[in-house]
Structure 1
Amino acid sequence: MSQVQSVERTFSILEILSKYPEGLSIGKLSKDLELAKSTVHRLLSTLMAKGYVQQDEQSGHYRLGIQCLVLAGSLLNQLDIRTVAKEALHTLAKSSGEVVHLCIHDKNEVVYIDKVESDQTLRMYSQIGRRALMHCTGVGKALLSGFTQEQLEELIVEKGLPEFTETTITEQADLDNELRTIKARGYAIDEQEHEKGIRCIAAPIYDHDSKVVAAISIAGPADRVTMERVKGDLAQAMLDQSKHISAKLGYINN
């Protein structure tokens, strides 16, 4: 058996076992691979020695080992959200003609970590590294949709719900209702809540643990980013790209 053929068969074993969390017998593996049991046993022995496969003592079935999880964890930890999201940000900026942001939360605040400029005029103070409160921004509310009730209450105690414009949410009951709406439809709207004249649509980004780890937004002047646009083409584009980024991070939407 050539070295390349051996590698291919080894990966085939791992791919098959990944579909059977309860494990498979060597007989079933041999049948699926169309290989002799002796060949499969030899490959399994090597994989077991390295920790990529383990054998159940009672059933004798083989299943994926802990080392596969170690590798997967290392890969997921290396994923840079900015690199992963870059293509989607440019796609949104091009299709919408507006400014697009990528944000994370830190110390109960929004942090802007990437930005794709619009080729149109926009009077909006935003720059990479800027911080903002969460209750009054589209990205902030998208991030808050992943908070537990306890986390939300801790944020309110620490930061309060200060008013920036007449549309800013300043009551916890209203914020609770807003977050329920965001979870149901999949995106948040900043209805000129932080800056008068600026409207945003934002969506959360999920990781492989189904946790909200970031948010993306499209922002522009309210007379250009109309509610009709927000609930129409912008909402669909936002949902498509947020799902695309989340999938790259290993999120599986059941």
Structure 2
Amino acid sequence: MQDDVKRGRGRPKAWDDKAPQNTIKSLDRALEVLVALGDMQGGTLSEVASALDQSPATVYRVLTTFQGRGFVDFDAQNQVWNIGAAAFLTGSQFLRRTSLVERARPIMRDLMDATGETANLGIERDGQVLFLGQVETHATIRAFFPPGTVSAMHASGIGKALLCRMDDARQRRVLAQGKLEQFTPHTLTDPDAMIADLHAARARGYAIDAEERNIGMRCIAAPVYNVFGEAVAGISVSGPTTRITTDKIAVLAQPVMDAAARLTVAIGGNNRPAG
């Protein structure tokens, strides 16, 4: 009887049944349109329809439905559809599920002040880095990872900071989820070279993205731990190689590690890593 009561509060009895009849295909297709529009950072009707290989008429009905709820906006002058305010407000509820972002904000501001570079916060989601927050430097040239941006773990400072705290078996599982795409000539695409880089990051306490995602940009990141000493987030600074030169990496790494340790304490974590 107690189990029935619990199920009634959240999921039906067969909640773990992934059979087709338990999904709403039209809703699933509509959400594909919304996700694609976000990935494209806006587009015309024909561009969105072409990207999804769907008919313009179908995509138009989806977009106008979302427009009615404020999830998309339409720029009539340029004939371009964009993600709307309602989508942002709904998505921002994710950030409110945890105190991580709130606790990180002042620490990230201090980190930016101490280093003069943009401070970032990210977590792992589905084998990618999901950026949750950023405090931008006042310098003219700067990195930009707005909340909600995703990036490949193997070519991200935060991604490698999280990966380096995993055991070898889990590292390889996560890396095997997707091809080690080469973004620049510096991207590590060989699994063994990647594992060796992660071992070095683990030993020194911080990871480096050395122009592996974008030419001319460097990132230094350190992991944030939960109460069990597990790496659950990463904090970093990123900026152009003209400012984050190779001789400054070790100097800038210290405030990054200090910030990660402060955030670990702020969320009730354990700075003694597991494993």
Considering the TM-score relative to the shorter chain, is it more than 0.5?
Answer: yes
Find 1:85's aligned residue among 98, 104, 108.
104
Structure 1 unaligned blocks of 5 or more: 1-77
SS of the residue aligned with 2:185?
coil
Question: How many residues matched?
Answer: 177
Which residue does the alignment assign to 2:260? Answer: 242
SS of the residue aligned with 1:166?
coil
Report the Cα distance in structure 1 between the residues aligned to 2:98 and 2:142, rounded to whole angstroms. Answer: 33
Equivalent residue runs for 1:13-52 within 5 Å: none
Find 2:172's aligned residue among 135, 153, 160.
153
Report the Cα distance in structure 1 between the residues aligned to 2:156 and 2:270, rounded to whole angstroms. Answer: 27
How much is the aligned-residue C-alpha RMSD, in angstroms? Answer: 1.7
Letter in 2 for 1:152: Q
Which residue does the alignment assign to 2:243? Answer: 224
Report the Cα distance in structure 2 between the residues aligned to 1:105 and 1:138, rounded to whole angstroms. Answer: 12
Equivalent residue runs for 1:31-110 within 5 Å: 80-110=99-129
Report the Cα distance in structure 1 between the residues aligned to 2:242 and 2:255, rounded to whole angstroms. Answer: 19
Which residue does the alignment assign to 2:202? Answer: 183
What's the CA shift for 1:126? 1.9
Q: Is the 8 A contact 2:221 2:237 kept in 1?
A: yes
Report the Cα distance in structure 2 between the residues aligned to 1:144 and 1:253, rounded to whole angstroms. Answer: 17
What's the CA shift for 1:79? 5.2
Letter in 1 for 2:163: L
User: Per the alignment, do residues 125 and 93 of structure 1 end up closer, same or farther by CA in structure 2, a change over 3 Å counting?
Assistant: closer
SS of the residue aligned with 2:155?
coil
Q: Is the 8 A contact 1:164 1:194 kept in 2?
A: yes
Deviation digits for residues 7-52 of structure 1 (CA, Å, limit 9, x no counterpart): xxxxxxxxxxxxxxxxxxxxxxxxxxxxxxxxxxxxxxxxxxxxxx
Which residue does the alignment assign to 1:209? Answer: 228
Greater Cα radius of gyration, structure 1 or 2: 1
User: Per the alignment, do residues 207 and 191 of structure 1 end up closer, same or farther by CA in structure 2, a change over 3 Å counting?
Assistant: same
Which residue does the alignment assign to 1:174? Answer: 193
Report the Cα distance in structure 2 between the residues aligned to 1:252 and 1:125, rounded to whole angstroms. Answer: 30
Report the Cα distance in structure 1 between the residues aligned to 2:268 and 2:142, rounded to whole angstroms. Answer: 36
What's the CA shift for 1:145? 1.6
Deviation digits for residues 122-173 of structure 1 (CA, Å, limit 9, x no counterpart): 2544211000000011011001122232322222322121111111111111
Which residue does the alignment assign to 1:27? Answer: none
**1:141 counterpart = 2:160:** yes
Q: Is the 8 A contact 2:118 2:143 kept in 1?
A: no
Letter in 1 for 2:259: Q
SS of the residue aligned with 1:205?
strand
Report the Cα distance in structure 2 between the residues aligned to 1:199 and 1:164, rounded to whole angstroms. Answer: 14
Report the Cα distance in structure 1 between the residues aligned to 2:257 and 2:199, rounded to whole angstroms. Answer: 17
Letter in 2 for 1:246: T
Report the Cα distance in structure 2 between the residues aligned to 1:123 and 1:87, rounded to whole angstroms. Answer: 20
Q: Is the 8 A contact 1:142 1:204 kept in 2?
A: yes
Letter in 1 for 2:268: G
What's the CA shift for 1:185? 0.9
Report the Cα distance in structure 2 between the residues aligned to 1:94 and 1:154, rounded to whole angstroms. Answer: 37
Report the Cα distance in structure 1 between the residues aligned to 2:105 and 2:134, rounded to whole angstroms. Answer: 9
- Between the aligned residues of both structures, percent identity stands at 32
Which residue does the alignment assign to 2:134? Answer: 115
User: Per the alignment, do residues 125 and 84 of structure 1 end up closer, same or farther by CA in structure 2, a change over 3 Å counting?
Assistant: closer
Structure 2 unaligned blocks of 5 or more: 1-96
Which residue does the alignment assign to 1:43? Answer: none
